Amino acid sequence: MQAMILHQIGKPLVFIERDDPQPGVGELRIKVEACAVCRTDLHVVDGDLKDPKLPLVPGHEIVGVIDALGEGVDPARFGRRVGIPWLGHTCGNCPYCQMKAEKLCDRPQFTGYSRDGGFATHVVADAAFGFDLDKDADPLSLAPLLCAGLIGWRSLKKAGNGKRIGLFGFGAAAHILTQICVWQGREVYAFTRAGDRAAQQFALDLGAVWAGSSQDNPSVPLDAAIIFAPVGDLVPAALKAVRKGGTVVCGGIHMSDIPSMPYVILWGERELVSVANLTREDAAEFFPIASRAAVRTHTTVYPLRQANEAIADLRAGRLIGAAVLVPEVG
Ligand SMILES: [Zn+2]
Ligand SMILES: [Zn+2]
């Protein structure tokens, strides 16, 4: 197999070749077709998330075809296309697993963090966390759905059923969620970095009714806001933008510190909540909805060996939509 490996926090990934991994009991091996790059990968590489497995193959928005089965896995799955997400394994025994809240499992494994991920030609995954995907769809287009899409969907569920939804940070997740919201008949208000006209135009092209910078005021109170950018300063900005009783959802796994703020912007029964991980239930709901809503992801494709360039472009905000890595053919 070929892979891009993180040996040390803060260092570039290194291209390697080594023996193909073998699936253990209850596991699958996937021949990777595409793996999208998520902001969480930046947090892993930068050390914002503590104690990753090292050396590590990052990447948790994996689409591929099952090419080997471990013991105990249904033989009918061989050759099927699956997606592998961030939540790679749950213990099944802790109090959270027992109460069917696997997103909060005390002993989880995360793809591309505590187990090897998809910046590679092959990856081994827990068969229970490989979601069947449409064999006829474009794998490049599917890959960003595995995290940006699923976490976007989970965030939207937390945001409630309001009509006016603010999205802070207009990257991979927001561009998918905008299409879902428009399909549901909601109004999307897109908040970007100041002066990021390209992202604002991209939001409007996807059907947002308003786009501006995070300090601008859309002049109507929002029912809910979802923050995808890892910027704590956006929390008070989003709270100010939502109406009484409205909800602000923090959709990221990491955020810079939230500044102190006057209580009055939370008062009025506004709610501030976070989202932790996806669940298999989210996937069962989301993939059919993404298909019905005819979600089209906007991708920039990089050969696997250029993972460092993809990471740098994501970090610098040079991307529209999502970066996707593809193994070289041959
Ligand atoms: Zn558990
Ligand atoms: Zn992710």
pLDDT in the model for residue 242: 98
Q: Ligand 2 centroid to 264 CA: how many Å?
A: 33
Looking at the structure, tell me whether residues 132 and 161 fall in a common domain.
no
3-class SS at 16?
A: strand
Structural domain for 215, as ranges:
150-274
| Residue 277: pLDDT over 90 | no
Q: Are residues 139 and 242 in the same domain?
A: no
Q: Domain containing 221 — which CATH number?
A: 3.40.50.720
Q: If you measure from the C-alpha of residue 40 to the centroid of ligand 1, how many angstroms do you get, rounded to a whole number?
A: 21
Q: How far is the CA of 157 from the centre of ligand 2 (A)?
A: 17
What gap in Å lies between CA 217 and CA 130, rounded to an integer?
42
pLDDT at 321 over 90: no
**Residues 129, 9 share a domain:** yes
CA of 198 to the centre of ligand 2 (A): 23
Q: What's the CA-to-centroid distance between 144 and ligand 2, angstroms?
A: 9
Residue 83 has pLDDT above 60, yes or no: yes
How much is the mean pLDDT over the chain?
Answer: 96
Q: Tell me if 153 sits within 8 A of 144, measured CB to CB.
A: no
Which ligand neighbours the alpha carbon of 144 most closely?
Answer: 2
23 & 73 share domain:
yes
CA 101 / ligand 1 centre spacing (Å): 8
* 50 contacts 153 by C-beta, under 8 angstroms: no
CA 114–ligand 1 middle distance (angstroms): 15
Residues 231 and 118 occupy one common structural domain: no
Question: How many A from CA of 89 to the centre of ligand 1?
Answer: 9
Q: Are residues 95 and 9 in the same domain?
A: yes
CA of 143 to the centre of ligand 1 (A): 26
CB atoms within 10 A of CB 163: 12
* pLDDT at site 36: 97
What distance in angstroms lies between residue 126's CA and the mean position of ligand 1's atoms?
Answer: 14
Q: Are residues 95 and 170 in the same domain?
A: no
Domain CATH code at residue 303: 3.90.180.10
CA 251 to centroid of ligand 1, rounded, Å: 21
- Same domain assignment for residues 17 and 140: yes
CA of 170 from ligand 1 middle (Å) equals 33
Distances (CA, A) of 58 to 39, 54, 61, 228: 12, 10, 10, 20
Q: Is the pLDDT of residue 330 over 60?
A: no
pLDDT, position 328: 83
- Say which ligand is closest to the CA of 97: 1
- Expressed in angstroms and rounded, the spacing between residue 280 Cα and the centre of ligand 1 is 14
Ligand nearest to the backbone CA of 314: 2
Smallest-distance ligand from the CA of 86: 2
Q: Using one digit for the tens of pLDDT, what is the confidence trace for 40-50?
A: 999 999 999 99
CA of 67 to the centre of ligand 1 (A): 28
For residue 85, the ligand closest to its alpha carbon is 2
Does one domain contain both 257 and 297?
no
For the cut 90, the answer to whether the pLDDT of residue 278 exceeds it is: no
Closest ligand to 59 CA? Answer: 2
Asked if the model's pLDDT at residue 291 lies above 70, the reply is yes
Q: What is the pLDDT of residues 156-212, one digit of tens each?
A: 999 999 999 999 999 999 999 999 999 999 999 999 999 999 999 999 999 999 999
Distance (Å) from CA 220 to ligand 1 centroid? 42
DSSP string across 58-73: ---EEEEEEEEE-TTS
- Angstrom distances, CA of residue 312 to CA of 16, 309, 316: 20, 5, 6
Task: Report the alpha-carbon distance of residue 327 to residue 212 in Å, rounded.
Answer: 37
Q: How far is the CA of 92 from the centre of ligand 1 (A)?
A: 5
One domain, residues 139 and 154: no
- 137, 166: one domain: no
Q: Considering every ligand atom, which ligand is closest to the CA of 275?
A: 2
Say whether pLDDT at 55 is over 80.
yes
Per-residue pLDDT, 329: 65
Q: How many domains does the chain have?
A: 2
Same domain, 115 and 246: no
pLDDT of residue 317 exceeding 90: no
Ligand 1 centre to CA of 117 (Å) is: 20
Longest dimension (CA), the chain: 60
